[in-house]
Amino acid sequence: MVDQVSVALGAALTLVAVAIHYAKGTGWESTGDISQDVLEQRAAAVPDTDFPEPMNRSIGGGGAAGAIPAGEGGAELEEGEDSEEDEGFDPESIADDEVEYYDIEFAKEGETIEIANNENLLDVGEDKGWDLPYACRQGQCVSCAGQIQDGPAGDYIRHEHNEALFDDDLDDGYCLTCVAYPTDDFTIETGEQP
């Protein structure tokens, strides 16, 4: 059977340990709430954006999930080889007598409008009162992306700046409407991302 002395001795030692614990205390004190300090430190580490607010409708500044800036994942250019798409162009450098107009059909909006080759698709669409998606307005994300239905994007537009689309995306007709300038008539589906 059970040894009564062992049970009594175990119970006594347990009571002594509990009594010492509560008499002496553990010395532990709860720390204060540091959540606000952590949030302030994180906010201080985030760089300010230089695109307009409150028009920015992208949480987090428009970085698309999985987007890799151009040049980091693709093939390198051979020495001396230039890429017009990588360099971009300056639409403001187009002389007034060289401005050309193209009929661009916005499929989702159900309207065709005339856009000059020195106007980007996003700005003209917004001037029409359409709520088109965008974030950075600098060709660094794919929030404003659209898909040209008529063929490769390079046949119908020029990008002023492009850090978000790869050559495969351009071949599939994707463009960044915030920095896309027409070079021909075409139909576009806005809000379509690669």
Question: Which CATH number goes with the domain that contains 163?
Answer: 3.10.20.30
Domain residues for 156? Answer: 102-190
Residue 42 lies in a domain: no
pLDDT at 39: 81
CA distance 74 to 76: 6
Residue 180 lies in a domain: yes
How many domains would you assign to the chain?
1
Residue 19 lies in a domain: no
Long-range contacts of 135-138 (CB under 8 A, 24+ apart): 135/51, 135/56, 135/57, 135/58, 135/61, 135/62, 136/49, 136/51, 136/58, 136/61, 136/62, 136/178, 137/51, 137/52, 137/178, 137/179, 138/51, 138/178, 138/179
Nearest CA to 56 among 144, 130, 146? 144
CA distance 132 to 111: 14
Residue 61 lies in a domain: no
* Spans in the chain with pLDDT lower than 50: 53-86
Residue 110 lies in a domain: yes
Q: Are 67 and 141 in contact, with CB atoms under 8 Å apart? A: yes
Residue 170 lies in a domain: yes
The one-letter amino acid code at 158 reads R
pLDDT per position as a tens digit, 7-45:
999 999 999 988 887 776 666 677 778 888 888 888 788
Q: Are 101 and 115 in contact, with CB atoms under 8 Å apart? A: yes
pLDDT at 81: 41
- Residue 101: CB atoms within 10 A of its CB come to 13
